[in-house]
Chain A
Amino acid sequence: MRLTDEEKRMLDGIEGPAVAAAMDLLVRYGEALDCEHLCDVRNVAGTMTQPSPVKARLVTEGGWDKAFAVINLDCDDDLEIPPMRVATCQLQHGFGADAAGDVPYPAQLIELQGDAEAFYGRHGVNILATCTPYQVGNIPVRGEHCAWMESSAVIYANSVLGARTNCEGTASTGAASLTGKVPCWGNHLDDHRYGTHLIDAGVRVDDFAEWGMLGYFAGGLAGEERPVITGDIGRPDLAELKHFGAAAATSGGVELYHIPGITPEAPTEAAAFGPAPVPAAVRYGADQRRTVYEDLNSQGTSTDVDFVLLGCPHASVDQIRQAARALDGRRLSPGTELWLMVPRALKVIADRSGCTEIIERAGGKVLADSCPAMSRVAPVGTRVFATDSAKQAHYLPAILGIEAWFGTLGECVDAAVTGRWSGHLRQHADLR
């Protein structure tokens, strides 16, 4: 790798051993990518506070400095961690103290995370505690180079905002936070931002569930490449694009997509593909839609639903309102819990706007900071869960060993009220 004089000084330890360790990791990582140089970043979204068994052990051995060195810099030396050099935020993590009693999350993990928040807050980390930093004030501008983790946030930043970030990891974001540098590779480069696959939606994609299914299809088709979406898709809103991206980053590894006329780097279909010819379209029709639906629902056999999970990625203000409307005046089945995951900053709005009260009166819970996948907890005794999130339907059976149903918000709320899953694929005629 070619380093600038500034980067060489960092590597040589002029700015201290922690910055040197950060630069060493970036050089090892850049060489692994066969990347020639680093680029400047001023916006880092990573994870430092999330409790884990390894982290708890390292903190016991050497405090949070040790945990950051080993996990966030991949360095075994005892280092004193300096303040973050560039703006850095903490993504979603475990549950906080206000969730104690509401969720079966161990008290020692709440305490460990509280300690972490204090340490990292002092070192300049903003505790956004959400997988959707772009919903709560961290909205990079078009073309801004970032170092973000969280696949659903990365795909949103690249595609919807036109920012430039690879899908970074715990160590690369840690190193970026102390150096303001990251390998200039992949999504940072113009040539790697053009579309690779064209998907033509021949069925109407017009709500949250439909956008999730189309995303799951797109990820399965494009893998780690860049799908371009056309067809009968209307004008998606924030929540629909959030779900589409999360699903595409789950079934595949999509980090960037284009929707001609809607996303900023694709004013036209031809522009989405840059200098390359527009490829033949792959059809997303009724058959493909049914296959996706059946795939997402292949991990459920029992229709007795113990648990309903909404808000993955963390719910928008509109989604919180929709959940409150769907639950207003109803009462959950005694054997079923409903959790709505939200960014803490939006929970304040839900509280002030009366949504939290409506949801709690029905027996549901509005929870911040985390999700069942991050915290690895669900209500005690959960065997079968239902969700409106393709991402949670995909991951939770593996993480918690439970059965999954995927459907619409309405079907999920009905399941919470009746304790039974009765979802089905809405008839949707092929338009062409």
Chain B
Amino acid sequence: MTRRSAVTWRSPVVILRGRKVVPGTVAGPALVSHEAISGWGGIDPAKGLIIEPRHELFGQCFTGKILVFPGAKGSSGWSGFFQAARLMGTAPAGMIFTRVSTKAALGAVVTRVPAVTDLDADPCQVISTGDWVHIDADRGVVVVTPATVA
């Protein structure tokens, strides 16, 4: 399960394979959280910021980023807040997450950005903030180019 596909010591580019959550392709810089994210009470959709004071990404902006996170926590307002971020123009460009839940799945659907899950390695460990990430959700493929190479 934790196998990295198509990776050799010569290649700095990492390819992960999983399944589609929301179809589409997109590329952008990664914003990686190692903690679950709250939607309602955790993000400000007007500004595209993480606002939970004790969160590792407190104060960081997710707009236009590939948001990589282990799962969704907290209120059922999760999806509604990410939908509001889309309607206010502050949404992330794509989502990659580990634990499938109704909050994360519906949140990705109504954010209407390419999203994948069930990857063959832990994306929160393999991907670092600032890495360049390409998502081909229909094929379930994520290509990660580390920031030091990109």
Chain A residues engaging chain B, CB cutoff 8 angstroms: 25, 28-29, 31-34, 47, 52-54, 70-71, 74, 148-151, 154, 166-172, 183, 185-186, 223-224, 249-250, 252-253, 298-299, 373, 394-395, 397-399
Contacts of A34 in B (CB 8 A): 19, 100, 118
Cβ of A32 and Cβ of B105 under 8 Å apart? yes
A412 to chain B, nearest CB (A): 21
Cβ of A171 and Cβ of B110 under 8 Å apart? yes
In chain A, what residue has the closest Cβ to B51?
A398
A167 to B52 Cα, complex, angstroms: 21
Contacts of A70 in B (CB 8 A): 87
| Contacts between the two chains (Cβ within 8 Å), count | 115
Cβ of B88 and Cβ of A168 under 8 Å apart? no
Cβ of B53 and Cβ of A172 under 8 Å apart? no
Q: Are A29 and B106 CB-contacts (below 8 A) given A52-B84, A253-B73, A253-B101?
A: yes
A398 to B87 Cα, complex, angstroms: 22
- Whether B12 is near chain A, meaning CB under 8 Å from some CB there, is no
Partner of A150, one of B76, B83, B112: B76
A29 to chain B, nearest CB (A): 5
Contacts of A395 in B (CB 8 A): 41
Partner of B73, one of A31, A186, A224: A224
Cβ of B102 and Cβ of A299 under 8 Å apart? no
A33 to B22 Cα, complex, angstroms: 10
Cβ of B101 and Cβ of A224 under 8 Å apart? yes
A28 to B109 Cα, complex, angstroms: 7
A-B contact pairs, 27 of them (CB 8 A): A29-B109, A32-B105, A32-B106, A32-B115, A33-B102, A52-B84, A54-B45, A54-B88, A74-B110, A74-B112, A151-B75, A169-B80, A169-B103, A170-B79, A171-B80, A172-B79, A223-B99, A224-B71, A224-B73, A249-B75, A250-B74, A253-B72, A253-B74, A253-B103, A299-B53, A398-B38, A399-B51
B1 to chain A, nearest CB (A): 16
Contacts of B110 in A (CB 8 A): 74, 169, 171
Cβ of A71 and Cβ of B80 under 8 Å apart? yes
Number of interface residues of B (CB under 8 A): 42
Chain A interface SS verdict (over half): helix
Q: Are A151 and B53 CB-contacts (below 8 A) given A29-B106, A54-B88, A395-B41?
A: no
> 8 Å CB contacts to A: which residues of B92-140?
99-103, 105-110, 112, 115, 118
- Whether B46 is near chain A, meaning CB under 8 Å from some CB there, is yes
B43 to chain A, nearest CB (A): 9
In chain A, what residue has the closest Cβ to B106?
A169
Cβ of A171 and Cβ of B79 under 8 Å apart? yes
Cβ of B100 and Cβ of A33 under 8 Å apart? yes
Q: Are A169 and B79 CB-contacts (below 8 A) given A32-B22, A224-B73?
A: yes
A313 to B35 Cα, complex, angstroms: 25
A53 to B44 Cα, complex, angstroms: 12
B10 to chain A, nearest CB (A): 34
Q: Are A223 and B106 CB-contacts (below 8 A) given A33-B100, A150-B76, A373-B41?
A: no
Cβ of A29 and Cβ of B53 under 8 Å apart? no
A183 to B100 Cα, complex, angstroms: 14
Contacts of B38 in A (CB 8 A): 398
> 8 Å CB contacts to A: which residues of B55-92?
71-80, 83-84, 87-88
